Chains A and B, each alone.
Chain A
Amino acid sequence: EAQVTQNPRYLITVTGKKLTVTCSQNMNHEYMSWYRQDPGLGLRQIYYSMNVEVTDKGDVPEGYKVSRKEKRNFPLILESPSPNQTSLYFCASSLGLAGGYNEQFFGPGTRLTVL
């Protein structure tokens, strides 16, 4: 089944404790992206990757890191989480941006709470 998987689905942690949220897709997509979704603010892009070893900042990159060493994986790293990073996080992937049509396939989401 074609899908984007994220782990963990739920995470409660404390301020300053480094964490990684994994994201993997099995559709051979070149483009991958991380979003956070907050009430009243909608989906905001954190980082994206056009292909392996190519990453770039989205709208809200502060406090996050990413890496794209393999095509299928795009982990999101919070080196020192803070309470304002409490949110619902989505990973997404698509074939790419060339040509314009860019249906993004979303993972199930990771609900993160930072105490």
Chain B
Amino acid sequence: QKEVEQDPGPLSVPEGAIVSLNCTYSNSAFQYFMWYRQYSRKGPELLMYTYSSGNKEDGRFTAQVDKSSKYISLFIRDSQPSDSATYLCAMSKAGTALIFGKGTTLSVSS
């Protein structure tokens, strides 16, 4: 079993839809959870960061971590064409490098 699993998609939604992106992981020692966004022909950029379990909201974006289920989610409300990108989950335990999911490609049509 891979340490981090992420459905690669692609995922296509109409503008205004609610998008749910997910990752599962196997290592219960992971404590730091991130979502990166990567536009075409660009490097990934940090979008959301969560420590341990719980929710974090930033505008239209909400990150959730459920450590009991080893499951993290990113929700995008009122999705916009500018949200079209690849979203990568990443996680780590203290003192170690980030482990990335393979990324989910999202396309939001107007």
Contacts and interface: CB of A to CB of B under 8 A. Distances in A.
Interface of A: 4, 33, 40-43, 45, 48, 58, 90, 92, 97-104, 106-109
A101 B42 contact: no
Interface of B: 6, 8, 31-32, 34, 41-46, 49, 51, 88, 92-98, 100-103
A7 B6 CA distance: 30
Contact of B42 (A33, A102, A108): A108
A101 B45 contact: no
Contacts of A40: 8, 102
Given A101-B51, A103-B49, A106-B45, A42 B94 contact: no
A80 to B, nearest CB: 27
Contact of A100 (B31, B43, B44, B100): B31
Nearest to B31: A100
B34 to A, nearest CB: 7
Given A42-B88, A42-B100, A103-B34, A97 B95 contact: yes
Contacts of A107: 43
Nearest to A38: B102
Contacts of B8: 40
Contacts of B44: 43, 90, 104, 106
Nearest to B6: A42
Given A103-B46, A106-B45, A109-B41, A97 B88 contact: no
A107 B95 CA distance: 23
B101 A48 contact: no
Contact of B97 (A48, A106, A108): A48
A98 B45 CA distance: 21
B41 A33 contact: no
A7 to B, nearest CB: 14
Chain A to chain B: the 7 pairs with minimum beta-carbon distance, closest first: A106-B43, A42-B102, A100-B94, A43-B100, A100-B32, A103-B46, A106-B44
B27 to A, nearest CB: 14
Given A104-B46, A109-B43, 20 more contacts: A33-B97, A42-B101, A42-B103, A43-B44, A43-B88, A43-B100, A43-B102, A45-B97, A90-B43, A90-B44, A92-B43, A97-B92, A100-B31, A100-B92, A100-B95, A103-B34, A104-B44, A106-B45, A107-B43, A109-B41
